Amino acid sequence: MKNSFSKNNLFPIFLFLSNFLVAQDASFFAPDTVCQNEIFELEYTGTGGESFCWISSPVFGEVPYLNEIFEFPNGKKPHFTDVIKEDGNYYLFTGFTNEIDGSDGKLMRLDFGNSLNNIPTSTILNIDAISYGQEGIQIVKSGNNWWGFLIGLGHLVRLDFGTDITNIPSVEDLGNIGNLNFPHDLFIYEENNQWVGLFIDLVNNSLSRLTFGNELSNMPTVEVIPNNFLDSPTGFFSIKVEGNWYLFVVNTEGNSITRFDFGNSLFNNPVENDLGDLGILNEPRDLSIFYACNQYCGFLLNKGDSTIIKLDFSSDIENTPNILTLSNQEILSFPHSMTEGYFSESALHFFFTNIESNDLKELVFPINSSIPVQCLDNSTPPEISFDSTGIHSLFLIVDEGMPTQSSDCQQIVILPTPLLNIGIDTIVCEGSFLVLESGFEETIWENVGIGTSISVNESGTYEAALSNENCTTYDSIEVEFKDCENCFLIPNVFTPDGDNLNDEFKPILNCQNLIEKYSLQVFNRWGNKVFETSNLLEGWDGKINNSQSPMDVFVWKILYTVNLDGQVLEKTTSGDVTLIR
């Protein structure tokens, strides 16, 4: 058994790399230096939060890959999706319509269980949604009640799931409020106990605001927000940074991104910014942005050339992003919409729909770490230790997948611990001794002394410690001395009557680990062998040639060898046993 700790009572020096640059709700304390394999304590110092993900490797440090998740029924094309997490389980809701004319809007729920690595089960919700041109979807929780909203040609539909997200919701068509021509993406959020929504309209080239008041059950009012740059907008992503709201909108005809800066409230009139085509946009359809430790990364779906584009904003969401094409593969076929990013225990997942191939796929960023991602529903940090030396990064993501997601990270130096191995637990014959060796003269043997080795001749747990200038490693071994002259306890009676009590004749082993060869033989009173085995766990069931033997006295003999300090000794013991029926 091994353990390690910091030897010199190193004073914790806390690094606030992200806090210096980005004000945020997520923050934690950790020591700047620990020893290899040392379990160290973390302290959450942030405010608020509903979910807390701890990651011990850079989020975007590995090459991503694409993976197919679900193929929709023949003739059905998926549109927008929304992922929610409830009671540790993940659900993905997707609206879909008929492939030919976009009619007969329906809703499907994919249940992933407690991990996005699981293969989901699908449930088509038997509801009448939007009859034609169904697009955007948003699922939100208000108090204990789950609500859903669908938007499409001429309709805003409200879904009431009640307190259980797996319920079949009741449906209320709110009608064509606010000149819904061909609305697409939809976002709804509670701000200061007031519910507000945003949606874009592809045909009207508009961005509009929904105001519900303090209850989502209210009839919302609609306000068109003035703009100059929207050109067939199809998708958007909202994010809150340092208390300020930003909305990024992709324009499929204009091949551009428009950013709306709302300031500290979604009820404000925003400032509009045209980011242009960035030299690479080709009929963009949707985008998603993820923040992790002072890095804002966006991922954009290009319909025109079936590509996924990475937008690297670095540490400032208002930067013009650097561009990188992540994929140009045949498996993208009219990519339509993308979800927020969510963690499994081994990766970060973004889900997106393909209309022409009728499927749901995911963009996956593996997390290369021996420590699984741990997403918790409370702010108490998990126990962490690193098994390799060097500089390691530790990330905290609070409220993954939400527009208010925040992050903190720290670098921790992992110092090497000395290698110490004094052997595995062992059994030794009485009358001998065992030499425990570490290979290092500086080894401290508990209650014995200092040196490379010690000799022991009594049963017990022996502990050793070895230190370098920073760290100490501990190891221990359990040694048990056995009477090798009496390795077996032999019963003198057995009763093979099928009651599962004493039905077999076999020895009780006292020093099994020392036995190298073994043979049990049983003879009747005339010297005929009636049973033999070399299996320590096999006994005689009282049968001779598959027939039950009558009551009698039988002679047994055991031949075995034991290893005593490397010397193999042959031993024999014998006696008699009575069979009783």
Tokens for 177, please give them. Answer: 């409020």
- 482 touches 511 (CB < 8 A): yes
pLDDT at residue 329, as a whole number = 58
CA separation for the pair 56, 118 (Å, rounded): 22
pLDDT at residue 396, as a whole number = 95
Using one digit for the tens of pLDDT, what is the confidence trace for 291-332?
988 899 999 999 999 999 999 999 999 999 999 998 755 678
pLDDT at residue 432, as a whole number = 76
Longest Cα separation, the chain:
110
CA separation for the pair 244, 246 (Å, rounded): 7
Using one digit for the tens of pLDDT, what is the confidence trace for 442-478?
999 998 899 999 999 999 999 999 999 999 999 999 9
Across the chain, mean pLDDT equals 90
- 517 touches 561 (CB < 8 A): yes
Phi and psi at residue 484, to the nearest 5°: -75, -15
CA separation for the pair 368, 58 (Å, rounded): 8
H helices present in 475-580, as ranges = none
Element of type H or E holding 244: strand 244-251
pLDDT at residue 106, as a whole number = 86
CA separation for the pair 560, 312 (Å, rounded): 71
Predicted TM-score (pTM) of this structure: 0.76
Does 14 have pLDDT greater than 70? no
> Percentage of the chain with pLDDT > 70?
94
Using one digit for the tens of pLDDT, what is the confidence trace for 342-354?
999 999 999 999 9
Does 15 have pLDDT greater than 50? no
Cα angle for residues 61, 63, 68 (degrees, 5° grid): 125
Range with top average pLDDT, 2-16, 58-72, 242-256: 242-256
pLDDT at residue 370, as a whole number = 83
- Residue 203 CB-density burial (10 A; 0-12 exposed, 13-18 middle, 19+ buried): middle
Using one digit for the tens of pLDDT, what is the confidence trace for 138-175?
999 999 999 999 999 989 999 999 999 999 999 999 99
Tokens for 369, please give them. Answer: 């770490």
Looking at per-residue pLDDT, the higher value among 370 and 19 belongs to: 370
As a whole number, mean pLDDT of residues 185-205 equals 97
- 236 touches 162 (CB < 8 A): no
CA separation for the pair 256, 90 (Å, rounded): 33
CA separation for the pair 564, 569 (Å, rounded): 7
Q: How many residues does the chain have?
A: 581
Confidence label for 428 from pLDDT (cuts 50, 70 and 90) = confident
